[in-house]
Amino acid sequence: MRDSYGGEFGQRCLLARRLTERGVRFVEVSHNLNFLNGAGWDVHNEGILQQHALIRELDTALGALLADLAEKKQLDRTLLVITTEFGRPPEFDSGGGRGHQASAFACVLAGGGLRHTGAYGQTDDLGKLIVNDPVSVPDFFATIHASLGIDYTKNLYDQDRPVPITDMGKPIERLFA
C-alpha cells in the first residue's frame, strides 16, 4: 500500500488518511515541501523543465488516496480540497516559465458526500476567462463549509467586530442536489 502512494508527498497523504481513520477531523497536507523540481509550483523560469515531476507525484498520491478512501468506505465522509492561490497562463513568459493568472484557475473538491458532476465552470479556449458558471472564492469556501455541516452564514468575532466566515458566499447548489 505504501508503494502505491508514491514518494514523500504520497507518504504524507497516507498518514493523513490514517489520521482521519482514527478520528482526526482536519488534516492539511502540503505538496512539494522538498522542492522536487528545484522551484516549487511557482515556475517563472527554468523550474518549468521539471514540472512533470511535480505533476506525476501529485497524480500518483491523489489517485492512491482517492482509491484507498473509496475502498475503505471513507470517501463520502472525507472532503479533499485541492487548490492554490492563483493559476498559470497557457503561454510562457520571457524567462521560459509561466507567470501568475488570477482570472481563472482550477480547484478540486472530492468526496465529502458531495454530488460530483465532473468539471463545474468553463473557461475560454485559452483558459484565461470564465465563460460559464463562475465560482467566487467566497462561494468556494461556502461550499466547503456547507459540506462539513458548518453554517457558512455565521460570523466569527474579533472582539466585538463581526467577521463573516465566507464573506457572504453561497454554496454551489448543484453539488448538494
Mean pLDDT of the region 138-148: 95
Domain hosting 116: range is 2-134
Please indicate, yes or no, if residue 154 is contained in any of the structural domains. no
Mean pLDDT of the region 111-127: 90
Please indicate, yes or no, if residue 169 is contained in any of the structural domains. no
R_g of the chain computed on alpha carbons = 18
Please indicate, yes or no, if residue 172 is contained in any of the structural domains. no
Residue 132 has pLDDT above 70, yes or no: yes
Q: 31 vs 25, 40, 46, 49, 52, CA distance in Å?
A: 20, 9, 19, 18, 14
Provide the pLDDT for residue 124: 92
Please indicate, yes or no, if residue 98 is contained in any of the structural domains. yes
- Helix, strand, coil share (%) of the chain residues, nearest 5: 35, 15, 55
Q: pTM here?
A: 0.86
Question: How many structural domains is the chain composed of?
Answer: 1
Please indicate, yes or no, if residue 42 is contained in any of the structural domains. yes
Residue 43 has pLDDT above 80, yes or no: no
Please indicate, yes or no, if residue 23 is contained in any of the structural domains. yes
pLDDT tens per residue, range 50-98: 778 888 999 999 999 999 999 999 999 999 999 887 788 888 878 777 7
* 164 burial level (CB within 10 Å; 0-12, 13-18, 19+): middle
Please indicate, yes or no, if residue 75 is contained in any of the structural domains. yes
**And the C-alpha cell for 108?**
478540486
Please indicate, yes or no, if residue 15 is contained in any of the structural domains. yes
Mean pLDDT of the region 158-171: 94
